[in-house]
């Protein structure tokens, strides 16, 4: 059954703050082969004009998978079959890097729902901002729910 397009515009409650740790940034940097010392050494990051070590560009998915993403996956109104889910597109627009020490809140909105050739396409937009409201990065994900063959 296609996902009901009337859920476009639905916005989920802000997630509990995620505190970005230096060691989490290091672990993620190791995993994507981000060798630059500015992901590991605060002195190097500060010498480059940053307040602390910062995360590689795709790090925000660590937050969106575990927080706002699960709000969408678990929404009974959408009824997404996780076993048929494919990641279609991903996009980031950065206001500034994610820094160690940031306490980030995700607000996820369903931006688009379409149905084409038996598949559902769902676009989410997640705004990551600090607890005090400083905008950090906007994350768009297009999820494809493959139709039953």
Partner 1 sequence: MADETGHGQATASPNGLEAGAVLPPRTFRITRADLVRYAGASGDLNPIHWSERFATGVGLPGVIAHGMYTMGLAGQAVVEWAGDPAAVVEFGVRFTKPVAVPDDDTGTELVVSAVVKGVTPDGHAELALTAVCAGEKVLGQARAVVRGAGGTTG
For residue 84, the 8-state DSSP code is G
Which residue of 7, 73, 92, 121 would you call a contact of partner 1, by CB under 8 A? 92
Instruction: Report which of 133, 134, 147, 143 is spatially closest to residue 68, judged by C-alpha positions.
Output: 143
Residue 75 C-beta: closest distance to partner 1, Å: 19
Contact 43, 52 (CB under 8 A): no
The residue among 14 and 37 lying less far from partner 1, judged by its C-beta, is: 37
Residues 30-89 that bind partner 1 (CB under 8 A): 30-34, 36, 38-39, 48-51, 54, 56-58, 61-62, 65-66, 83, 86-89
CA distances for 62 relative to 27, 28, 58, 84, angstroms: 11, 9, 8, 21
Instruction: Report which of 116, 115, 107, 111 is spatially closest to residue 141, judged by C-alpha positions.
Output: 111
Cα–Cα distance measured from residue 15 to residue 89, given in angstroms and rounded to the nearest whole number: 23
Residue 41 C-beta: closest distance to partner 1, Å: 12
**Which window, 14-22, 23-31, 100-108, 114-122, contacts partner 1 (CB under 8 A)?**
23-31
Residue 110 C-beta: closest distance to partner 1, Å: 19
Residue numbers of the site for partner 1 (CB under 8 A)? Answer: 27-28, 30-34, 36, 38-39, 48-51, 54, 56-58, 61-62, 65-66, 83, 86-94, 96-97, 140, 142
């Amino acid at each position: 059954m296609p996902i009901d397009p009337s859920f476009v515009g639905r916005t989920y409650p802000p997630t509990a703050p995620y505190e970005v740790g230096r060691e989490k940034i290091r672990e993620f940097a190791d995993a994507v082969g981000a060798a630059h010392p500015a992901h590991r050494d605060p002195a190097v990051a500060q010498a480059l004009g940053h307040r602390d070590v910062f995360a590689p560009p795709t790090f925000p998915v660590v937050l969106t998978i575990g927080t706002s993403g699960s709000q969408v996956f678990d929404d009974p109104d959408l009824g997404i079959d996780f076993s048929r889910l494919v990641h279609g597109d991903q996009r980031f627009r950065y206001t500034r890097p994610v820094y160690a020490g940031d306490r980030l809140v995700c607000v996820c909105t369903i931006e688009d729902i379409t149905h084409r050739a038996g598949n559902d396409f769902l676009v989410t937009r997640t705004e990551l901002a600090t607890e005090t409201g400083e905008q950090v990065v906007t994350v768009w994900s297009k999820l494809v729910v493959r139709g039953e063959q």
